[in-house]
Amino acid sequence: MSAAKTVDQSALLPESLRDDFPILSRDILEGHPLVFLDNAASTQRPRQVIDAISNVYEHDYANVHRGIHTLSERSTELYELAREKVRAFVGAKHAREVIFTPGTTASINLVARSWGGANLQPGDEILTTVMEHHSNLVPWQQIAAETGAVLRHVPITEDGRLDMAAFDQLLSERTKLVAVCSISNTLGTINPIDEITSKAHAAGALVLVDAAQSVPHMPVDVLKSDVDFLAFSGHKMLGPSGVGILYGKESLLDAMPPFLGGGSMINEVRLDSFTPAELPAKFEAGTPPIAPAIGMSAAIDYLNHIGLEAIHRHEQVLTQLAYDALSQIEGLRILGPAPKHRAGLVSFAFERIHAHEFAQVLNDQFGVAVRAGHHCTQPLHALLGISASTRASFYFYNQPENVDCLLEGISAVQSMFAPQGRRRRRKHNS
Ligand code: PLP
């Protein structure tokens, strides 16, 4: 029976939302409409976001802040309105705590270089986890090498959750910063950020949250969670690529030296010195991502209209459906915890089929787009004893029928590559 038929329809968002996304009506294969399950890498954009971007280029574009002509004033107004939208979206106190960057990676590098460079001493510890994206590992490795700080990693439990007992042991007065993802882009694990911030603060450490996978999918409130820094990307939440956010508490950002030097980030420049601008300009050197920020603002309007709680609920249904069906397949290993501890993605590995081959056939024969590889979590894959996995990641425009397409593809690929593979009936505890 179709897995889709077993679903509680009342928890789902309407299928008609898909019509807002022009690219989703594209056929990849004749007779196979696109099934896009690669949303953790980048989502698609609704017409409203595409229109906002083309509108600004058609009617309102000029460089921001420096001009006194109408177009510059208009694009400055839209750019600053975007900042205000982001502020409200993540519950920050002040718009000046919201810095536009090129993305999550750039935001984390900003903190590592600026805060880390100014504050880390030999022997200080940065506590991160084994489930981090390379973006939340490599910048800390780099700054640790430069400052003599030491990097420590919180392990995971058997079922792919953060080992909080180990966290408690690793956290000490030497810990200066905890750098952790709110949702693992490979395991799907939702981490207990509120508990982490409260314990870290009690130990005197700051907390940076890599929120690339949470801000697009569930409500995030920086004040309630008391995070010190939060990083995320526009392209994972219906917005354009090339824009992301660093949220930082005002007192911390104020005390940090500028990261990049150049135009816009200065108050006054002499031949041999400069004074930095106030926040947020201090961290926005050069021409910022003007149209992408305005596109991100339209994406936030769209997400607010649907509601983040409803999006999360919808994704939970799809995840449960996929998890239950995948856990019945012999020779397939699901990475990460049971659905109640995970967000809207499921990664898995086959005993006998390489993830790349698998994803290729799914695309070429079924029009199903999934991601295959290490998902920028090589250390985590090494720990799990595999070099690659396949990841199906959902968004609110996916429907249970898309999970059926995935399952149909898996079954076909299995009989193609491993005819001996059979479905098994096994009860899974969740
Ligand atoms: N952190 C996580 C958890 C991610 O999933 C990603 C992207 O996949 C990143 C960081 C990097 O984001 P970006 O490439 O937009 O900088």
Q: Which residue's CA is the closest to the ligand 1 atom numbered 5? A: 185
**Range with the lowest mean pLDDT among 8-12, 56-60, 220-224, 276-280?**
8-12
CATH number at 339 reads 3.90.1150.10
Q: How far apart are CA 64 and CA 367, in angstroms?
A: 42
* In-domain check, residue 240: yes
* Per-residue model confidence as pLDDT tens digits over 16-37: 999 999 999 988 888 788 999 9
| pLDDT value at 60 more than 80 | yes
- How many whole angstroms from 104 Cα to the centroid of ligand 1? 6
User: So what's the pLDDT on residue 75?
Assistant: 97
What is the biggest distance separating any 2 CA atoms in the chain, rounded to whole angstroms? 74
CA of 179 to the centre of ligand 1 (A): 14
Q: What spacing in Å lies between the alpha carbon of 274 and ligand 1's midpoint?
A: 33
Assess whether pLDDT exceeds 90 at residue 413: no
Instruction: Please tell me whether residues 324 and 183 are part of one structural domain.
Output: no
CATH of the domain at 225: 3.40.640.10
Distance 136 CA to ligand 1 centre (A): 9
Question: Is residue 196 located within the same domain as residue 250?
Answer: yes
pLDDT of residue 417: 78
Give, using CA atoms, the residue closest to atom 7 of ligand 1: 41
Q: Does 347 reside within a domain? A: yes
To test ligand 1's pocket by mutation, which of 213, 347, 391 has the most ligand atoms within 8 angstroms of CB?
Answer: 213
Average pLDDT (91-116) is 98
Q: Which atom of ligand 1 is nearest to the CA of 41?
A: 8
The answer to whether position 42 is within a domain reads no
pLDDT band at 176 (very low <50, low <70, confident <90, very high): very high
76/92 same-domain check: yes
Domain presence at residue 425 = no
Cα 368 to Cα 61: distance, rounded to the nearest angstrom:
37
| Bond before 400 cis per omega within 30 degrees | no
Mean pLDDT of 166-193: 98
**Residue range(s) defining the domain that contains residue 214:** 49-305
* Burial label, 342 (beta-carbon count in 10 A; 0-12, 13-18, 19+): buried
16 Cβ neighbours under 8 A, 6+ residues apart: none
Best mutation site among 101, 104, 214 for ligand 1, i.e. most ligand atoms within 8 A of its Cβ? Answer: 104
What Cα–Cα distance (Å) separates residue 231 from each residue in 101, 150, 156, 202, 257?
Answer: 9, 22, 22, 22, 18
For residue 353, name the pLDDT band (cuts at 50, 70, 90). Answer: confident
Asked if residue 422 has pLDDT above 80, the reply is no
Q: Which candidate, 162, 166, 116, 161, places its Cα nearest to that of 138?
A: 116
pLDDT value of residue 300: 98
CB 245 within 8 A of CB 99: yes
- Does 400 lie in the same domain as 382? yes
Ligand 1: which residues within 6 Å by Cβ? 40-41, 103-105, 133, 135-136, 181, 185, 210, 212-213, 233, 244
Task: Indicate if the pLDDT at residue 421 is higher than 60.
Answer: no
Q: In this structure, which residue's CA is closest to atom 8 in ligand 1?
A: 41
In a domain, 13, yes or no: yes
175 and 67 together in one domain = yes
Digit-coded pLDDT (tens) for 116-175: 999 999 999 999 999 999 999 999 999 999 999 999 999 999 999 999 999 999 999 999
Q: pLDDT tens across 199-238, in order?
A: 999 999 999 999 999 999 999 999 999 999 999 999 999 9
Give this prediction's pTM. 0.96
Residue 207 · residue 68 · CB < 8 Å: no
What is the Cα–Cα distance from 52 to 279, expressed in whole angstroms?
26
Picking from 305, 335, 366, the residue at the C-terminal end of a domain is 305
Average pLDDT, the chain: 94
**Residues 400 and 295 placed together within one structural domain of the fold:** no
**Residues 338-365, mean pLDDT to the nearest whole number:** 93
Among 186, 342, 376, 378, which is best to mutate for testing ligand 1, by the most ligand atoms less than 8 A from CB?
376
- For residues 301 and 336, membership in a common domain is answered with no
pLDDT score at 130: 98
Q: Is residue 116 part of a domain?
A: yes
Q: Are residues 261 and 314 in the same domain?
A: no
297 and 180 within one domain: yes
Q: Quick one: what percent of the chain has pLDDT higher than 70?
A: 96
Three-state DSSP state, 93? coil
Same-domain check for residues 59 and 101: yes
Residue 424 included in any domain: no
Number of domains in the chain: 2
Least confident of 4-8, 137-141, 240-244, 247-251: 4-8
Shortest-distance atom of ligand 1 to CA 135: 10
Predicted local confidence at residue 419, as pLDDT: 57
- At which of 259, 280, 305 does a domain end? 305
Please tell me the predicted confidence (pLDDT) of residue 3: 66
Phi, psi (rounded to 5 degrees) for 95: -65, -25
Q: Which residues are catalytic?
A: 376
Q: What are phi and psi of 297, to 5 degrees?
A: -60, -40
305's CB contacts (< 8 A; 6+ apart) are none
Looking at the structure, tell me whether residues 370 and 292 fall in a common domain. no
Answer whether residue 128 is part of any domain: yes
Q: Are residues 321 and 293 in the same domain?
A: no
User: 245 C-alpha to center of ligand 1: Å?
Assistant: 12
Q: Which of 267, 287, 305 is the last residue of a domain?
A: 305
| Residue 214 phi, psi dihedral angles, 5° rounding | -105, -45
Q: Which residues of 134-156 are buried (b: 16+ CB within 10 A; e: fewer)?
A: ebbbbbbeebbeebebeebbbeb
3-class DSSP assignment, residue 161: coil
Task: Give residue 210 CA to ligand 1 midpoint distance, Å.
Answer: 8
